[in-house]
Amino acid sequence: MNQEKLFVGPGARLRARAWTRGLAPSGRVILVSESGVWRRFGSGVQRALKGAGLHVLTHLLPSGEAAKSWDSIEPLLTAMLEGGLGRDAALIALGGGSVTDAAGFAAAVFLRGIPWVSIPTTMLGQLDSGLGGKTGINLAGGKNLAGAFHRPAAVVCDGDVLKTLPPRERVSGLGEALKYGLAFEAKLWSLMVRDWDKLAAGDARLTAEIVRRGASWKRKIVAQDLYETKGPRELLNFGHTLGHALESAAGLGVLRHGEAVIWGMRAALRLSVKRAGLSPANALEADRFLAGIPVPVPRRLDPHRLVAETKRDKKVRAGAVRFILLRAVGRPVVKPVPEAEILAVAQELLS
């Protein structure tokens, strides 16, 4: 499948003629969002789509992780069917990661797949979840356990929508950006550490640069390994193994995804020293910076439960939990880690 087109810049979401060109031969699309995002941005995007000559249906999913369930997806699929959409129609997903994950999944399974466009309205979405074509919903056993690889035809990253982000959502997005720096680009890591206060305060120019570089890394790696079978795409999960475990154990919605990834990166740094040869001095320096970011951690969690959660991770092979670790900043490697070492680092960080 061809790489998705990327549209970045202030007001990009309103330039629908550019990113819908050739998208839906029938001229019919469904705009999928959730109530909070719809109040802020929905009508503007709807008008832009109509201005591009498209017939627009709308559908709202529940907010947050509740969007990513069978109970939410079935009404969306039914609305698409009853609205007369065919394989020559398209879906537009406007929202954060939960909306793009769920709506993208609906696009993947409706009539065995229709085109879709991702308009992520969070920094996390513009850096990660809104790109790459991983779509999915949650099951009782954990996050994103049902899904499909279905790349969007276009990703629209509009810096204007980030101006309204609350502080926790901004930190969550920046957590994912820090992942790209630590795992792939030492210069990006250094830039973020140096200018963290500006980023946290919402500096528009700097935020746009971080989004552009992070999105470029995501697209570059996905292009090498769309279905996560060759290895490169797995490296995008740095910080996610224990991060996802913490997110699930805390209860869906208690922690923001990027907050959990920050915690997971701290765990991976410790394991990298022992398992991948990362310099203890480099690990300590990076950990001190991450520890200074205000991330809530539910310290009453049982570390043994976190270890159990890691066994459900999609990177488990032959019963061994595989971590993305660092040989150095910008040099990731995949290594199996024994349960005892996972437990030790979890106990240390939760104490």
Q: Are both 158 and 300 inside the same structural domain?
A: no
Whole-number pLDDT of residue 212: 87
User: What is the Cα–Cα distance from 95 to 130, expressed in whole angstroms?
Assistant: 9
Residues 247 and 220 in one domain: yes
DSSP letter string over 238-290? TTTHHHHHHHHHH-TTTS-HHHHHHHHHHHHHHHHHHHT---HHHHHHHHHHH
Structural domain for 200, as ranges: 166-350
Nearest CA-CA partner of 149 in 233, 235, 32: 233
pTM above 0.85, yes or no: no
Last residue of a domain, one of 137, 163, 189: 163
Query: Do 138 and 9 sit in the same domain of this protein?
Result: yes
Tokens encoding 262 = 């920050």
300 shares a domain with 214:
yes
Judgement on whether residues 187 and 219 belong to the same structural domain of the protein: yes
| pLDDT one digit per residue (tens) for the chain, 351 residues | 567 888 988 899 999 999 999 999 999 999 999 999 999 999 999 999 999 999 999 999 999 889 999 999 999 999 999 999 999 999 999 999 899 999 999 999 999 999 999 999 999 889 887 888 889 999 988 778 899 999 999 999 998 999 888 899 899 999 999 999 999 999 999 999 999 999 999 888 898 899 889 988 988 898 888 877 778 889 999 999 999 899 888 886 788 889 999 999 999 999 999 999 999 999 999 999 999 998 887 778 899 999 888 887 666 665 678 999 999 999 999 999 999 999 999 999 988
Q: Are residues 8 and 57 in contact, defined by beta-carbon separation less than 8 angstroms?
A: no
CATH number of 52's domain: 3.40.50.1970
The answer on 186 and 41 residing in a single domain is no
Q: Are residues 225 and 200 in the same domain?
A: yes
Question: Mind spelling out the 3-state secondary structure of 109-127?
Answer: HHHHCCCEEEEECCHHHHH
Q: Same domain, yes or no, for 196 and 343?
A: yes
Q: Please report the pLDDT score of residue 314 as a whole number.
A: 62
> What CATH number does the domain containing 219 carry?
1.20.1090.10
The residue out of 109, 142, 163 marking a domain boundary is 163
Determine the pLDDT at residue 124: 87
113 shares a domain with 231: no
Domain count, the chain: 2
> What is the per-residue pLDDT for 26?
98
What is the structure's pLDDT at 312? 75
> Do 210 and 135 fall within a single domain?
no
pLDDT confidence of residue 311: 81
Same-domain check for residues 31 and 99? yes
Are 200 and 325 contained in the same domain? yes
Both tokens assigned to 168: 């926790």
Single residue among 163, 198, 221 that ends a domain in this structure:
163
Specify the length of the chain in residues. Answer: 351
Q: What is the pLDDT of residue 250?
A: 87
Output the pLDDT for position 315. Answer: 63
